[in-house]
Amino acid sequence: MRNSRFDVRPTSPAVGAEILGVDLSKPLSAAETEELRGALNDFGVIFFRDQDLSPEQHIAFAERFAEINVNRFFRSVPGYPQIAEVRKEPKQTANIGGGWHTDHSYDEAPALGSILLAREVPESGGDTMFASMHHAYEALSDGLKQTLEGLRAVHSSRHVFGAAAQYSRDVAGRIGNPDLATQDAVHPVVVRHPESGRKILYVNPGFTTHFEGWTQKESRSLLDYLYAHAARPEFHTRFQWRKGSIAFWDNRATWHFAINDYHGERRLMHRITLEGVPLVRR
């Protein structure tokens, strides 16, 4: 980024950048906020280190970018409904987010993004991987791009957060309100990013169930091909957490995957999710 107020260091050719030279406990100027918004649009996810934020400061930083979405499934931090806990205790084996997905694709207006702050991290392990869905789209053949342009896909929370979902049982006590897991949403398979204008492949293994007008069985082979394609390492970056680290990712432009390789240790993250807008093909 030219003439940047910050030191911006890309973490991979496809996605991610670390932002140095900013203290997020202090109020951002309008110009600084817009520069960080631009970095988010350019890189899909931006990372910060050594940020000692109070919950109030975490909220204030998030509100510079969009209205906060109060998560209806995750347990919140006591006294701060805007902040969701992403927690795994030493005796627990299942983690939250342990598979490729993008948050809130089951909503009619999917979340803009999330701001995850590390409060406690294991001695080793617990990294998060991110994938660029713009680069994944661009690497598809012209013929497949043309096919996908005409498709829409159904996204659901029922099989993840609903009462009958195995995942809900595996992470019992950390998510709730299964009665609210009744909504589905339909989005174009290829969307225009509402800010950058880039084309994005918008399906994900966590919440996409099938193509509109197709059965789940008919959809499976093509969806699995797209998932395997987007999981190629050239589209990825991997972030190693430390206490006080922040990842701010764009849910429209990326997938993420919380690696579950730290059994017997505690990991506690505070997440704020930002409201987005309906996605269109354009």
Verify whether residue 134 is a known catalytic residue. Answer: no
Q: Are 77 and 270 within 8 A, CB to CB?
A: yes
Contact 251, 116 (CB under 8 A): no
Could you give the 3-state DSSP secondary structure of residue 8?
strand
DSSP state of 91: T
Active-site position among 134, 236, 270, 271 = 271
Q: Which of 58, 103, 155, 198 is catalytic?
A: 103
Burial 264-275 (b: 16+ CB within 10 A, else e): ebbbbbbbbbbb
What whole-number distance in Å separates Cα of residue 273 and Cα of residue 148?
28
Beta-carbon contacts of residue 195 (< 8 Å; ≥ 6 apart): 37, 41
d(CA 267, CA 263): 10
User: What stretch of H or E contains 271?
Assistant: strand 267-274
- State how far the Cα of 277 lies from the Cα of 99, in Å rounded to an integer: 25
Q: How many helices (H) and strands (E) does the chain have?
A: 7, 17
Residue of 58, 87, 101, 187 marked catalytic:
101
155 belongs to the catalytic site: no
- Catalytic residue, chosen from 87, 135, 155, 256, is 256
Q: Is 271 known to be catalytic?
A: yes
Active-site annotation holds for 267: no
What CA–CA distance (Å, rounded) separates 91 from 142? 48
Are 62 and 115 a contacting pair, CB within 8 Å?
A: yes
- Catalytically annotated residues: 101, 103, 256, 271
